Amino acid sequence: MKGTPMTLPTYFLSHGGGPWPFMMDQVGHLYAKLDASLRDIPRQIGVTPKALLVITAHWEGRDFMLSSSPKPPMIYDYGGFPPHTYEVQYAAPGSPQLAAQVKDLLEAGGHTAVLDDQRGFDHGTFSALYPIYPNADVPVVQLSLRYGLDPKEHLEIGRLLAPLRDQGVLIIGSGLSFHNLRAFNAAGASASHAFDAWLQQTMALPPQERAAQLMQWEQAPAARMAHPREEHLLPLMVVLGAAEQEAAAMPYHEDAFMGGLAVSSFRFG
């Protein structure tokens, strides 16, 4: 269905590991549930977005950075995968116009934003988007995190981005609800379940209380075991800010991912 006569939801996606959608012959059994949840997003929103704004855990800057190339290249920011995964292409166009609009929105709210016409799609972007829009026919702009990883600041920029939802822009935060690479196996199972249970409880709270709890995420059970460094959690702050008064849903959850990890994705609106 074309056109977007509605306010679009926002998503926080647990994007999986490396270039998994391009290795389904080898790892499909591990990613079948995530793959199905991502492929279902077009049905959930019911319209084709005019563009996608992806807040990616794999890009940080002194200022908020925006990819502004009309034809973004690829960034193969992983190691040890089969040779063909360093040749995959996700040839979605960029949108210099959307990048400039986001820059204006952020700067109007007192945040510095910078356009980067060289930045390519990292795996947190193209691995998450390929199952959703495999034809790569929806324009994509990436937005970075900012050094310091201040949750309040990232919630605030999400609030500034909220008007885009009425303009046909689908806002996606690409990260992981559990991201401790030293315990990305059964060793992290207990911590991941404790933190995921807290996340689910927090997402079910009334809006003001939900945001306040999320700003105190380091006090959650097993918080620093789940996120020794919080860059994969911060995209959640942004997409929540952009739909702060909306109810949350959980379109993806697994209890036994990669040896027993609990991981989840959330939709707002």
CA dist., res. 205 & res. 202, Å (int):
5
Give the pLDDT confidence score for residue 1 in this predicted structure.
42
Indicate the domain borders of the chain.
10-178+229-268
**CB count, 10 Å around CB of 82?**
11
Q: Assign domain 10-178+229-268 one CATH number from 3.40.830.10, 3.30.56.10, 3.40.50.2300, 1.10.10.60.
A: 3.40.830.10
pLDDT in tens, 33-66: 999 999 999 999 999 999 999 999 999 999 999 9
pLDDT in tens, 167-187: 999 999 999 999 999 999 999
Structural contact between residues 80 and 157, judged by C-beta atoms closer than 8 angstroms = no
Query: pTM of the prediction?
Result: 0.97
Instruction: Give CA torsion, residues 77, 78, 83, 84, to 10 deg.
Output: -60
Give the pLDDT confidence score for residue 6 in this predicted structure.
86
Give the pLDDT confidence score for residue 28 in this predicted structure.
80
Cα–Cα nearest to 51, from 157, 136, 146:
136
For every residue of 95-125, DSSP letters joined together read -HHHHHHHHHHHHHTT--EEEESS--B-HHH
Residues of the chain with pLDDT under 50: 1-4
Give the pLDDT confidence score for residue 5 in this predicted structure.
60
